[in-house]
Structure 1
Amino acid sequence: MGTSQPTNNDFSVYGIDISKYQGNEVSLLNKQTDQFTFVICKATEGITYTDPDFKTNWPEIQSKGYVRGAYHFYHCDDDPTEQAANYLGVVGNFLNTDFPPIVDFEEGSIDPGINKTEIQPNLLQFLSLLEQKTGRKPLLYTDNNTANTYLTNPAFANYNLWIADYNATVAIPTIWKSKSWTLWQKSESYELDNQSNDFDVFNGDSNAFTEFIQSS
């Protein structure tokens, strides 16, 4: 299997995130050659949608020896309680070797015509529900512009940050500046067998990564 090397060798713990757009790529992955530590896959979106490849990706990521993660794409015009039920109903139980719940909040989450005063309290309710029901603190994916516009409540900094930033150095959203980031999605064009992927790095070494998985 043809692989690329990390774009910054300072990061020893790295992986990719995938969805239906990568098709059956998970079947081609080989931990011995690609050297990924983790693979994160899309699980759900809103209150009814399930990624069609999740039921294949989720068990296969584990069987191939990667730390696995499952993310939910959050929609601001959907009820937080119903979104939590959709996500948790599809994923089921999280093992202590899995990432904690992951929430994707980006520009596409800001649905047209919504009441913007409800965005932050509703998202905080959703994150709190996931934490209550799983006993694990969710990881929040976003980008700098979206975070600085919509995530201004300091309560969001209680959740670890997965930041999307395709520049050479990462920009930290205001409320996380004193805490920094946990994952950095630093490329959206990482090539594996002619398939483009999002490439992610962890902010720490393998021991720190193990501690993060076990303690979050």
Structure 2
Amino acid sequence: MPVHRSGPATRRPRSSAALAGTFLAAAALLAGLPGTADAAPYGPAPEPTHPGQDWTGSQIARHEGDAPGEAPPPTRASVEGVDVSSHNGNVAWQTLWNSGVRFAYVKATESTSYTNPYFAQQYDGSYDVGMIRGAYHFATPDTSSGAAQANYFVDHGGGWSKDGRTLPGALDMEYNPYGSTCYGKSPSGLVSWMKDFFATYKARTGRDAPVYTSTNWWKQCTGNYTGFGSVNPLWIPRYGTSAGELPAGWDFHTIWQYTSSGTTVGDRNRFNGAYERLKAFANG
């Protein structure tokens, strides 16, 4: 019969080259060097600590500058709008309506832990004065999956109904307020995250979500990916007299955030089309 030895198995000593390779691989992970996994080495990032300070363009102005200037005068082929979040508090919707604002996007959620405490006043208040309104989600791709965040968004105000007054929920993709510009992800990793979000949102609502993003961030963090332009409407921030260069894949923008220093509410937008087209966009 074979003899079974007790005690630990005998292991061959590892070469110095093998040990050095292991050390370098570990160091690369810790340092977050290119070529490492998209996720942080010890799991997802902590939940956001100051979501009330994050809104469409909050990081665009910080990283790209805010040069308000004079926007071109409105035309018959554009519609004036605003976007708001908790940092705006209770919004004077009647004042905005009286000044010609006809649509609004309202921040609903961030990651899978935050809901805007002013959401009801802002989302319902804009609707009550006659505006077409929608909700948006501030993405944090390092805290949870795209599907998880899309589901959280839909469950907390980001849904859609075909009532002619509700815009499809939008995804805010911009510079990370908490660390690494691209959330510690490679371009392919970020694209995959967005695909996950968009697919889940469409499965839940039947609509393709618009994406809010700047051309500079898009180039840096997605490698100027072209694959969303034919499906997901573009909401572009560019503070000045034109929407400027668009991210790859889009031939035109749907919404242009042209300033962050408007009256009553800072963030002002233009829908790229006449009011009837805005209603058609709401209806899908």
TM-score by length of 1: 0.86
Relative distance call for 1:29 and 1:108 in structure 2 (3 A) is farther
1:198 aligned to which of 260, 267, 270: 267
Of 127, 130, 133, which aligns to 2:198? 127
Q: Distance in 1 between matches of 2:96 and 2:247?
A: 38
Correspondence list, 1:23-172, <5 A: 23-26=89-92, 28-29=94-95, 31=97, 33-77=98-142, 78-91=144-157, 93-96=159-162, 97-108=165-176, 111-112=179-180, 114-116=184-186, 117-151=188-222, 152-157=224-229, 158-172=231-245
Q: Distance in 2 between matches of 1:159 and 1:54?
A: 24
State the identity %.
Answer: 25
Cα distance in 2 for residues equivalent to 1:197 and 1:176: 29
Q: Which has the larger radius of gyration?
A: 2
CA distance 1:121–1:109, change in 2 (3 Å): farther
Paired residues of 2:136 and 2:158 also in contact (CA < 8 A): no
Are 1:207 and 2:276 counterparts?
yes
Equivalents in 2 of 1:155, 1:189: separation in Å?
A: 32
Query: Does structure 1 residue 8 correspond to structure 2 residue 73?
Result: yes
Equivalence for 2:255: 183
Instruction: From the two aligned structures, give the one with the greater strand fraction.
Output: 1
- Matched residue of 1:69: which SS? strand
Name the SS for the 2:261 alignment partner: strand
Q: Does the C-alpha gap of structure 1 residues 6 and 98 become closer, same or farther in structure 2, counting only changes over 3 Å?
A: farther
Q: Secondary structure of the equivalent of 2:207?
A: coil
Deviation at 1:137, TM superposition (A): 1.0
| Aligned residues: CA RMSD | 2.2
- Runs of 4 or more above 6 Å deviation: none
The answer to whether the Cα contact below 8 Å between 2:159 and 2:169 also exists between their aligned partners in 1 is no
Aligned pairs, number: 206
Q: Deviations over 1:17-38 (max 9, x none)?
A: 011111111455452x122110
Contact in 2 for aligned 1:187/1:199 (Cα 8 Å) = yes
Unaligned stretches of 5+ in structure 2?
1-69
> For 1:6 and 1:16, how far apart are their aligned partners in 2?
14
Report if aligned partners of 2:214, 2:247 keep a CA contact under 8 Å in 1.
no
- Separation of aligned partners in 1, 2:169 and 2:178: 20
Q: Secondary structure at the match of 1:155?
A: coil
Structure 1 residues 23-68: Cα deviation after superposition (integer angstroms, max 9, x where no partner): 111455452x122110111000011111111122222221111001
Q: Which residue type is aligned with residue 203 of structure 1?
A: N
Q: Give, in angstroms, the shift of residue 201 of structure 1.
A: 0.2
Distance 1:149 1:43 in 2: 27
Consecutive unaligned residues in structure 1, runs of 5 or more:
none
| 8 Å contact from structure 1 (residues 75, 111) kept in 2 | no
SS at match of 2:106: strand
Please, what TM-score do these two structures have when normalized by structure 2? Answer: 0.67
